[in-house]
């Protein structure tokens, strides 16, 4: 089991550049199943989840190369509709392939996905949406089979029960090749990654509108063309480092950041009394004095992102007074709280709420990272704490953060991975 050893009492200072968005590139890669021409992507982060999606594309017949943050996808000789569970179990975003693959092959069989244990994330919204499109869906032995109908209805309206990002992406992508159909997806997710996917699909000849609003409209076309596309920066990665600067009383600039993607976070940081500087080229976060406790509620975009909830908790753990954090997306997102409390934090969880009573200083300890974002939170807490922190099970981190050690060391962190497998 891999470990990160983090030396405390470190102020993060300096400049780094944002990586491409993991949560954007994965559904975009899944969409290439429906494109039978070359596709080139720029600004792709070198992450384990990206490698997993590439392996899935190769498994079904695509020819894929990945070098210098550029992914090139060439059409293969044979496209198969079966994706083995061994690949799908590694991450949830792999399920986004079932609709596009069925559109090309007529059917697709995909295992129910794995990923981080942060709460129930059933694929029901995906499947109910595909059924509303006319797909025949069956489940057996842990696999889901999707078969396209003989003909699609000319007009389809589907309202998501919850603005699920993955289901919105799945349905929007699948609908692009439903030629002759006009599809409306209501209560759609509004995250920037949805807009990025829409922009890519439209560049390939799709007719999609409404991303960043609750209603997305798709007019199906007969064919998607190849294209070259650059992925947006990763707002969760950017937010993590900005929060790390505040947690450690530091000062950092993240180049390539888009402020509009992080409005909720920047608003909370300013409310806390942190220093924020916005530029077309970068975002800067810096310590300028004692912080104030706040109330934070994680919500679907444009609300505060659930992926940053654990990291802001690590910051609030040392803010004098009592802060309240409400989690409205994943019911098991507080799985890291016991680990922070091992470091001296005073956090009590009741249902979907965490009450955080700030302490003057955290203390280094041996802890376990239960998921990607919790792992990042423990690293930032360790950098701010007294002494040494040993974080176990950090393999998760490399699914979500590109060159994590390298970037932190650039900012002055003393951090070592054992064994060195990044």
Q: Which residues are identified as catalytic?
A: 116
Taking the C-alpha atoms of residue 137 and residue 363, their distance in angstroms, rounded to an integer, is 51
Find, among 257, 229, 241, 204, the residue nearest to 69 by Cα.
229
Neighbouring residues of 230: CB distance < 8 A, sequence distance ≥ 6: 20, 41, 42, 43
Q: How many CA atoms lie within 13 A of 87 on its CB side?
A: 21
Token match 């990291």: residue?
Answer: 311
Token match 């899944």: residue?
Answer: 30
Answer for the pair 389, 8: CB distance below 8 angstroms, yes or no: yes
Kindly state the DSSP code that residue 213 receives in the 8-state scheme. Answer: S
Kindly state the DSSP code that residue 333 receives in the 8-state scheme. Answer: G
> From the centroid of its chain, how far is CA 218?
24
Answer for the pair 279, 42: CB distance below 8 angstroms, yes or no: no
Taking the C-alpha atoms of residue 295 and residue 324, their distance in angstroms, rounded to an integer, is 5
- Residue 419: burial class (beta carbons within 10 Å; 0-12, 13-18, 19+): exposed
> Which two structure tokens, joined as six digits, stand for 208?
């999609």
Answer for the pair 28, 229: CB distance below 8 angstroms, yes or no: yes
Find, among 71, 100, 68, 70, the residue nearest to 83 by Cα.
100
Find, among 186, 218, 190, the residue nearest to 202 by Cα.
218
Taking the C-alpha atoms of residue 48 and residue 405, their distance in angstroms, rounded to an integer, is 15
> Which two structure tokens, joined as six digits, stand for 366?
């041996």
Kindly state the DSSP code that residue 8 receives in the 8-state scheme. Answer: S
> From the centroid of its chain, how far is CA 381?
21
């Amino acid at each position: 089991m891999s470990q990160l050893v983090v030396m405390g009492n470190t102020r993060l200072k300096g400049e780094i550049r944002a990586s491409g968005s993991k949560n954007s590139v994965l559904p975009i890669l899944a969409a290439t199943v429906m494109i039978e021409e070359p596709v080139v992507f720029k600004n792709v982060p070198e992450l384990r989840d990206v490698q997993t999606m590439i392996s899935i594309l190769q498994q079904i017949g695509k020819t894929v190369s990945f070098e210098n943050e550029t992914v090139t996808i060439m059409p293969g000789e044979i496209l198969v509709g079966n994706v083995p569970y061994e690949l799908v179990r590694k991450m949830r975003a792999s399920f986004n392939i079932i609709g596009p693959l069925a559109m090309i092959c007529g059917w697709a069989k995909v295992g129910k996905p794995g990923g981080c244990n942060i709460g129930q994330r059933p694929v029901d919204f995906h499947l109910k949406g595909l059924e509303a499109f006319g797909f025949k869906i069956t489940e057996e032995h842990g696999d889901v089979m999707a078969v396209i109908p003989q003909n699609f209805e000319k007009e389809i309206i589907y309202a998501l029960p919850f603005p699920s990002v993955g289901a919105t992406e799945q349905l929007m992508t699948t609908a692009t090749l439903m030629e002759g159909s006009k599809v409306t997806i209501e209560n759609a997710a509004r995250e920037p990654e949805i807009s990025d996917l829409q922009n890519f699909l439209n560049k390939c000849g799709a007719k999609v509108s409404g991303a960043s609003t609750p209603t997305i409209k798709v007019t199906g076309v007969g064919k998607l063309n190849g294209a070259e596309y650059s992925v947006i920066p990763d707002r969760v990665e950017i937010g993590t480092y900005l929060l790390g600067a505040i947690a450690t009383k530091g000062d950092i600039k993240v180049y390539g950041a888009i402020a509009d993607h992080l409005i909720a976070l920047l608003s909370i940081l300013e409310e806390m009394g942190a220093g924020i500087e916005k530029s077309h080229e970068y975002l800067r976060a810096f310590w300028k004095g004692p912080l104030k406790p706040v109330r934070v509620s994680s919500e679907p975009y444009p609300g505060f992102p659930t992926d940053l909830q654990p990291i802001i908790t690590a910051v609030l753990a040392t803010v004098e007074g009592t802060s309240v954090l409400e989690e409205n997306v994943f019911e098991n997102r507080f799985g890291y709280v016991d680990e922070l409390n091992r470091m001296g934090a005073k956090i009590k969880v009741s249902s979907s709420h965490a009450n955080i009573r700030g302490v003057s200083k955290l203390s280094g300890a041996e802890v376990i990272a239960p998921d990607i974002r919790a792992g990042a939170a423990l690293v930032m807490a360790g950098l701010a704490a007294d002494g040494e922190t040993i974080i176990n099970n950090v393999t998760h981190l490399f699914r979500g953060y590109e060159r994590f050690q390298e970037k932190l060391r650039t900012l002055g962190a003393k951090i070592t991975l054992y064994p060195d497998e990044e």
